[in-house]
Amino acid sequence: MISYYLENNPSSKGKVSIDEVTQTYKFDYPCESYSDCTEYVIHLSPGLYKFELFGASGGACTNRTSLFMNSDGNCTHREAAFLYGGNAVCRQIVNRGGAGGYISGIIKILHKITAFATIGGKGIHTCTRASANQDSDYYPSNMVKGGYGGGGWAANWYWQPGNNGAGSGGGQTAVMFLQNDLWHRVIVSGGGGGSDNCPAHQTEFMGADDGSGGAGGGFTAQG
């Protein structure tokens, strides 16, 4: 038996889907903003619980997020990610966004306890102003914010119309017990890295100027 609400809005249940037959609760990202959100507060009764966490993908242009890719340019098998609920595919293209990671664990709860769940926000691919290669493009006020849950920020980059933008990193998904802070994290799934600019007609796949973000979860990166 569990109960839950949003930490910054106790009257809201967030976005949770429940399968009463399998007693499964799916906690989705509950906020409109990709970078500014809150945690779920979850009250757990004694019992055996399986946790499955999916990190958020990094920012990239449309249809440019890929499964984990080895150094030889080959991806992990799509079937492996599918077995764990993944939705990413292999895209052997330049300037890819990295898929988020996956992790699971079974935890035995011996007494009533409060958990906090961070659901990672997806990174985005954009620019904040018409400027490139300036020191001010690295000022926090001009950067592209990372996804909620610690996603990395990206420097602003705008070269010309149709050739601009940078992807920020996806946020971690994590579960904490007792307190909502770094030191009480028990299980974490990493977010994917953001990509370089979209147009890349002269960029070689896996070449020196291929600005792709890494996957957050290796073999079972899920997108």
pLDDT tens for each residue of 208-223 = 667 777 777 655 555 4
Low-confidence ranges of the chain (pLDDT < 70): 76-83, 199-202, 205-209, 217-223
| Four-CA torsion 81, 86, 90, 93, nearest 10 degrees | -140
Selection from 12, 18, 29 nearest residue 191 by Cα: 29
> Is beta strand 47-54 parallel, antiparallel or unpaired with respect to 102-109?
antiparallel
153 domain-assigned: no
Residue with the two structure tokens 């018409």: 130
Predicted confidence at residue 60, as pLDDT, reads 86
33 domain-assigned: yes
As a whole number of angstroms, the distance between CA 133 and CA 146 comes to: 20
For residue 113, what are the contacts with CB-CB under 8 A and spacing of at least 6?
43, 44, 177, 178
Predicted confidence at residue 209, as pLDDT, reads 66
Predicted confidence at residue 195, as pLDDT, reads 86
98 domain-assigned: yes
Q: Is the dihedral of CA 141, 183, 170, 74 positive or negative?
A: positive
Q: Give me the number of domains the chain comprises.
A: 1
- pLDDT tens for residues 43-81? 999 999 999 999 999 988 887 777 777 777 777 666 666
As a whole number of angstroms, the distance between CA 64 and CA 97 comes to: 6
Note if the pTM is more than 0.85.
yes
204 domain-assigned: no
Give me the helices (H) in the chain, please: 78-83
219 domain-assigned: no
As a whole number of angstroms, the distance between CA 60 and CA 210 comes to: 13
Range of the domain at 16: 3-123+170-189
Q: What are the beta bridge partners of residue 144?
A: 154
143 domain-assigned: no
207 domain-assigned: no
152 domain-assigned: no
As a whole number of angstroms, the distance between CA 149 and CA 168 comes to: 12
As a whole number of angstroms, the distance between CA 86 and CA 92 comes to: 18
